[in-house]
Amino acid sequence: MKGQLLNNEKLAKYTSWRVGGCADRLYIPFDRTDLIEFVSSLPATEPLFWIGLGSNLLIRDGGIRGTVINTKGRLKAMYRTEDGLVYVEAGVPCAHVARFCAEQGLVGAEFLAGIPGTMGGALKMNAGAFGGETWSLVKQVDMLNAHGEVVVRTPQDFVVSYRSVQGADGEWFLSALLQLPEGDTVASQQKIKGLLEKRNQSQPTNQPSCGSVFKNPEGDYAARLIEQTGLKGYCIGGACVSEKHANFIVNTGNATAANIEELISYVKTKVNEQHGVLLLTEVCMVGESDD
């Protein structure tokens, strides 16, 4: 294997919240081929968990049993195919995809500039921002199963909805082919610039967070409900509801994953008590508690 295998590796430095316990094993693949070979060498029963930029993710303080695969800076191939599609591997940051598509004169991917994760994570949860959603662009995906086999799938193989993608259990996203209409490069780049300015003005981009914590209820906004409940600035330990955007929970420096999870639960309870709305989490919470 050309990649790097680390034992009992602390995961806090791999997540945007900067919290989380250790992984039994962490594998950083050299490239797509190396990753396939590594997964092929594992028992099919080995628990696998994938991390990209570690956003939209809360790893509990007890860490993750099994093997964690980190694609950040690794599965990073991206190019225009001969038939005009965009090939993107799972480790490419969404912001890079937005800029590349604009440079190629392709429009419709600008919203990806506002997603602080990788393409793999965006595919897994149908990530969206500023009115756009990932799977509206997808023509085809390559999946990797526990036997190290690559399976080609189309959107019809999945049940895709708001911040949810179901189907292909026991498989993980390797890459995608995106299909976008042609348009004006300059206009697309200006749109990206405007979206990033809006994001920086409205979100706490200078503090460790995971992105949006809760899904927006139909016809409403989670941030509005949380703010109306008077929870902006509310803290448990080092975890606080952001003063800048109520749907963000920030690590003020010494938060634990348990602090964050407790605050998420508190916000859900209080919003439900005052507004009768049960907020659903957008963030993925994994691993074991540190009992």
Residue 119 is inside which H or E element, if any? helix 119-125
Look up residue 58 and give its amino acid.
L
Confirm if 227 and 245 have CB atoms less than 8 A apart.
no
Question: What backbone phi and psi angles, to 5 degrees, belong to 268?
Answer: -60, -45
User: What mean pLDDT comes out for the span 31-49?
Assistant: 94
pLDDT at 110: 96
Q: pTM value? A: 0.92
> Domain with 129 in it: what CATH number?
3.30.465.10
Higher pLDDT, 61 or 128: 61
Q: Which one of 160, 178, 201 terminates a domain? A: 201
pLDDT at 178: 98
What single DSSP character describes residue 81?
-
pLDDT in tens, 92-104: 999 999 999 999 9
- CA angle 256/120/150 to nearest 5° reads 130
Asked if residue 123 belongs to a domain, the reply is yes
Residue in 163, 188, 209, 261 annotated catalytic: 163
Count structural domains, the chain. 3
Per-residue DSSP letters for 217-243? Answer: PTTS-HHHHHHHTT-TT-EETTEEE-S
Same domain, 196 and 250: no
pLDDT in tens, 122-147: 999 999 888 899 999 999 999 999 99
pLDDT at 129: 85
Question: What backbone phi and psi angles, to 5 degrees, belong to 133?
Answer: -135, 145
Q: Which one of 172, 201, 230 terminates a domain? A: 201
Same domain, 121 and 222: no
Rg (alpha carbons) of the chain, rounded to whole number:
19
Same domain, 234 and 272: yes
* Alpha carbon separation from 225 to 2, 264, 269, 277 (Å, rounded): 49, 14, 12, 9
Same domain, 8 and 106: no
Averaged pLDDT of the chain: 95
> Domain with 24 in it: what CATH number?
3.30.43.10
Is residue 37 annotated as part of the catalytic site, yes or no? no
User: What mean pLDDT comes out for the span 175-201?
Assistant: 94
Q: Can you point out the beta strands (E) in 20-98?
A: 22-28, 48-51, 57-59, 64-70, 78-80, 86-89
The rounded distance, in Å, linking the Cα atoms of 120 and 261 is 24
Residue in 9, 110, 171, 282 annotated catalytic: 282
Same domain, 102 and 126: yes
Residue in 32, 212, 242, 261 annotated catalytic: 212
Is residue 212 annotated as part of the catalytic site, yes or no? yes
> Domain with 250 in it: what CATH number?
3.90.78.10
Same domain, 50 and 100: no
| 89: containing domain | 78-201
pLDDT in tens, 104-126: 999 999 999 999 899 999 999 99
Asked if residue 291 belongs to a domain, the reply is no
Q: Which one of 135, 170, 201 terminates a domain? A: 201
User: What mean pLDDT comes out for the span 227-238?
Assistant: 97
Same domain, 87 and 143: yes
Same domain, 22 and 83: no
Confirm if 137 and 180 have CB atoms less than 8 A apart.
yes
Same domain, 151 and 136: yes
